[in-house]
Structure 1
């Protein structure tokens, strides 16, 4: 098994507490409403704390796939949310799992910087190259921007 690590920060023009609520605490309710390919997110184990497993069903083309999302750590006081994608038909055959360690920090002008460290655990001698890293980073940053847009247009959320 190999491990490929990627680290980056994504700015958002909303305070950390609002972004944390939307992207972490209310993720299962909000994301299916905001992101068309996400059909549903359901808890299969736990109630949201560490050890919770969520099943996220996604429509890719005409095919329904799912990933299993395990909460590894959550700290509302410090805006830390760590989770892993541990299985499902939406996880690439070359990957054992993917872990995300994220922390929201105050950014300029009352905004946020979402710092993330992603580790891709490959199966056997499978490769995970630069093209994959760029595509996955774009997806994650795109999700942050979608949530940011929602929060900016819904100030009472």
Structure 2
């Protein structure tokens, strides 16, 4: 098994508390409304605390896939949310799991910087290319920007 690591930051023009609420605490309600391909997010184990497992089902075209999202750590006071994608038909066959450590910190002008440390655990001798890592980073940063846009358009959320 190999481990490929990425570290990156994503700025957002909303305060950390609002972004944390939307991307972490209310993720299961908000993301199916914002992301067309997400069909549902259901808790299969737990209530949101560490150890909770969420099943995220996506539909793209005629194909339905899912991933199991496990909450590894959550700290509302310091805006830390660590989770892993541990199984499912949406997890590439070359990966055992993907673990994300993220923290929201105050950025300039009342905004946020989302700091991410991602680890991709590959099966056997599988290798992730720089292009694959960059595509994954772009996808995650796009989700942050999608939520940012929603929060800016809905100041009372």
Q: CA deviation at 1:62?
A: 1.6
1:46 paired residue number: 46
Q: CA deviation at 1:72?
A: 0.1
1:140 paired residue number: 140
What is the alpha-carbon distance in structure 1 between the residues aligned to residue 126 and residue 151 of structure 2?
A: 39
Which consecutive residues of structure 2, in runs of 5 or more, have no partner in the other structure? none
SS of structure 2 residue aligned to 1:127: coil
2:6 paired residue number: 6
What is the alpha-carbon distance in structure 2 between the residues aligned to residue 101 and residue 74 of structure 1?
A: 10
What is the alpha-carbon distance in structure 2 between the residues aligned to residue 46 and residue 82 of structure 1?
A: 16
- After TM superposition, the score normalised by the length of structure 1 is 0.99
Q: CA deviation at 1:60?
A: 2.4
Q: CA deviation at 1:49?
A: 0.3
What is the alpha-carbon distance in structure 2 between the residues aligned to residue 116 and residue 61 of structure 1?
A: 30
- After TM superposition, the score normalised by the length of structure 2 is 0.99
1:64 paired residue number: 64
2:84 paired residue number: 84
Which consecutive residues of structure 1, in runs of 5 or more, have no partner in the other structure? none
What is the alpha-carbon distance in structure 2 between the residues aligned to residue 60 and residue 102 of structure 1?
A: 27
SS of structure 1 residue aligned to 2:132: helix
1:156 aligns with 2:146: no
1:128 paired residue number: 128
2:107 paired residue number: 107
SS of structure 2 residue aligned to 1:71: strand
SS of structure 2 residue aligned to 1:30: helix
Deviations 1:74-124 (A, max 9, x none): 000000000000000000000000000000000000000000000000000
SS of structure 2 residue aligned to 1:91: coil
Q: CA deviation at 1:43?
A: 0.1
Q: CA deviation at 1:59?
A: 1.1
Equivalences, count:
157
